[in-house]
Amino acid sequence: MDVPENIELKIIFEKLDVVDFKITTIETRQPKKGLEFDFNSGFEIDKNNEQIKIILKIRINDSVTKNEICSTTVRFTFTIVNLNKLPKQDKGKEILIPTRLLHDLFSSSYSTLRGILYEKFLGTLLNGVLLPLIDINELIPDSEDGIEQNS
């Protein structure tokens, strides 16, 4: 769905919360070799505050032992001015979020997370490791997966 022409949305980055961050202290592992990245994501809609919260969960595992090396959960909060003016689903109160808006919010959040983790990895066994470039569409949940709307 596209944004109707008569509605102008303004995106304001409000807040970033590192909900969880863990990294192993094992120093014997060869960094940057044999890493697997596991991504989970979702979003919440807070209609009262006209906000969309993007939640990204990343796990980095050793590809040989499958042991977790690092995991993090980060929540990005965006205020979307005029969010409540978007069309609603038939016979419901759920707002239809434009695909392009979700793409932009997930893209911005993932890019920011790449930089955050690069900084957090400095001086650790993951020094110099970057989250891979990915197709952002793979992070965006299907229309009803990972969506929670607060009235």
Q: Which two tokens stand for residue 128?
A: 């110099």
Chain-centre distance for alpha carbon 2: 21
Give pLDDT tens digits for 131-151: 999 999 999 987 554 454 554
- Residues near 114 by Cβ (< 8 Å), separated by ≥ 6? 130, 131
Task: Please tell me the number of Cα atoms within 13 Å of 67 on its side-chain side.
Answer: 7
DSSP structure class, residue 141: P
pLDDT string in tens for the chain (151-residue length)? 666 677 899 999 999 999 999 998 665 555 455 899 999 999 999 999 999 999 999 999 988 888 899 999 999 999 999 999 988 876 667 888 999 999 999 999 999 999 999 999 998 888 899 999 999 999 998 755 445 455 4
Domains and CATH numbers, the chain: 10-142 (3.10.420.10)
